[in-house]
Amino acid sequence: MRPTFMGFESSKTALFASQKALDIVGHNFANMSSEGYTRQRTDQVAVESYSYKNRVSINAMNYNGLGTNVNGVSQVRDQRLDTAFRNIYSETSYYNKSNAMLADIENVLSEVDIGIEGNGYGLSWGIKQMYSALEDFASNVNVGGDASIFAESVKNITTLLNHISRTLTDTADTYKMELQSEVNDANTMLTKVADLNKQISEMMSTNGYTNQYGPNELIDKRNVLLDQLSSFGKLVVSNNADGSVNVTMNGHMCIEGKNADKINYHENSNGTVSLTWKSDGTASDTDYGTLKASTEILNGRGNNISSGTETTIRGFQYYEDYLDTFAGKLAEILNNTLPETKDADGNVLTYKKLVGESDYSNGKISVYTDKYVTAKNIAISDDLAENPSYIIYDKNSSENAYMVELLGKLSINTQTFSNGVETFTGTFQDYIADYVGKLGSDVQYASSRYESCNKYSEQLLNERDGISGVSETEETMSMLTHNKAFQAAAKVMTAMDELLDVIVNQIGALG
Amino acid sequence: MSIRITQNSVNRSYLSNLSNSQYSMNTAMDKVQSGRAFTKVSENVSAGTKALNIRSKIYKNEQVRDNVAVANEQLTVAEDSLVSINEIVGNIRAEVLKVLNGTNTKVGEEIYTTVLQNSKDSILKLANCKYNDKYIMGGTNIKTQPYTVDANGKFQFNGVNVEDIELKNGKFESNGTSVPYSSDTYIDIGLDICVVNGVVDPRTAYKVSVSGLDSLGYGKSDITYKDMSDNEKTYEVSNNVYDVITDMSKAIEDGDMDKLSALYDHLGNCANKLATNVSDIGMRCSFLDATLSRLENESLSLSQMQKDTEGIDDATEIMNYMNYKYAWNLTMQFGSNVIPQSLMDFIR
B125 touches chain A (CB under 8 A): no
Mean pLDDT of B283-304: 94
Which run of H or E residues covers position A276?
A: strand A273-277
The minimum CA-CA distance between B254 and chain A, rounded to whole Å, is 42
Kindly indicate the confidence band of residue B104, based on its pLDDT and cuts at 50, 70 and 90: low
Mean pLDDT of A41-58: 76
- Same structural domain, A364 and A462: yes
Angle A316-334/A428-468 helices, nearest 10 degrees? 170
CA distance A371 to A374: 10
The dihedrals phi and psi of B224, each to the nearest 5 degrees, come to: -120, 140
Rounded to whole angstroms, what are the CA distances from A67 to A46, A421, A484, A502, B226?
A: 6, 80, 16, 23, 155
CB atoms within 10 A of CB A458: 17
> Nearest-CA residue of chain B relative to A106?
B40
Rounded to whole angstroms, what are the CA distances from B173 to A230, B180, B213, B218, B254?
A: 83, 9, 12, 11, 33
Q: How many structural domains does chain A have?
A: 2
CA distance B182 to A154: 30
- Same structural domain, A441 and A351: yes
Q: Which of B4, B43, B142 sits opposite A397 (nearest CB)?
A: B142
Q: Does the pLDDT at position A360 exceed 60?
A: yes
- Same structural domain, A175 and A281: yes
> Nearest-CA residue of chain B relative to A455?
B16
Q: Which amino acid is at B331?
A: T
- Please state, rounded to an integer, the average pLDDT across all residues of chain A: 90
- Same structural domain, A510 and A364: no
- Same structural domain, A54 and A174: no
Residues B170-211 pLDDT 10s:
888 888 888 888 888 888 888 888 887 778 888 888 888 887
**pLDDT recorded at residue B48:** 93
Q: Of A182-186, A446-450, A493-497, where does mean pLDDT reach its minimum?
A: A493-497
Q: What is the ipTM of this complex?
A: 0.86
- Same structural domain, A52 and A198: no
Task: Please judge whether A439 and B41 are an interchain contact, meaning their C-beta atoms are less than 8 angstroms apart.
Answer: yes
Kindly indicate the confidence band of residue B99, based on its pLDDT and cuts at 50, 70 and 90: confident
**pLDDT recorded at residue A118:** 79
Q: Three-state DSSP class for B234?
A: strand
B142 touches chain A (CB under 8 A): yes
> Nearest-CA residue of chain B relative to A445?
B42
Asked if B281 and B78 touch (Cβ cutoff 8 Å), the reply is yes
Kindly indicate the confidence band of residue A368, based on its pLDDT and cuts at 50, 70 and 90: confident
Asked if B163 and B240 touch (Cβ cutoff 8 Å), the reply is yes
Task: Please judge whether B49 and A395 are an interchain contact, meaning their C-beta atoms are less than 8 angstroms apart.
Answer: no
**pLDDT recorded at residue A286:** 87
Q: Which of B8, B55, B60 sits opposite A469 (nearest CB)?
A: B8
Residues A69-79 pLDDT 10s:
998 999 988 99
CA distance B14 to B27: 20
The minimum CA-CA distance between A402 and chain B, rounded to whole Å, is 5
- Same structural domain, A63 and A202: no
- Same structural domain, A188 and A236: yes
Report percent pLDDT > 90 for chain A.
Answer: 63
A340 touches chain B (CB under 8 A): no
Closest CA to B87 of B111, B122, B113: B122
Name residues 138-167 of chain A within 8 A of B (Cβ). 138-139, 142
The minimum CA-CA distance between A344 and chain B, rounded to whole Å, is 11
Range among B48-62, B130-144, B325-339 rated most confident: B48-62
Q: Which amino acid is at A114?
A: I
CA distance B339 to B15: 12
- Same structural domain, A56 and A158: no
Kindly indicate the confidence band of residue A52, based on its pLDDT and cuts at 50, 70 and 90: low
The minimum CA-CA distance between B72 and chain A, rounded to whole Å, is 13
Residue of A411, A441, A465 to mutate, testing the B interface (most B Cβ within 10 Å of its Cβ): A465
- Same structural domain, A443 and A428: yes
* Rounded-to-5 percentages of helix, strand, coil across chain A: 55, 15, 30
Q: Which residue ranges form the domains of chain B, and what is each CATH number?
A: 76-294 (1.20.1330.10)
Q: Provide, as residue numbers in chain A, all residues whose Cβ is less than 8 Å from the Cβ of B3.
A: 463, 466
Q: Provide, as residue numbers in chain A, all residues whose Cβ is less than 8 Å from the Cβ of B20.
A: none
Mean pLDDT of B268-283: 92
- Same structural domain, A357 and A418: yes
Q: Which amino acid is at A357?
A: E
Report percent pLDDT > 70 for chain B.
Answer: 96
Please state the pTM of the whole predicted model.
Answer: 0.88
What letters, b where the CB count within 10 A reaches 16 and e where it falls short, cover B207-240? ebbbbbbbbbbbbbeebebeeeeeeeeeeebbbb
Per the structure, the complete domain to which residue A42 belongs is given by 1-76+472-511
Task: Please judge whether A465 and B6 are an interchain contact, meaning their C-beta atoms are less than 8 angstroms apart.
Answer: yes
Between B65 and B254, the more confident residue is: B65
Q: How far apart are the first and last CA of chain B?
A: 32
CA distance B112 to B101: 13
CA distance B124 to B104: 28
Task: Please judge whether B181 and A473 are an interchain contact, meaning their C-beta atoms are less than 8 angstroms apart.
Answer: no
Rounded to whole angstroms, what are the CA distances from A63 to A51, A345, B174?
A: 10, 125, 138
- Same structural domain, A162 and A137: yes
Q: Provide, as residue numbers in chain A, all residues whose Cβ is less than 8 Å from the Cβ of B136.
A: none
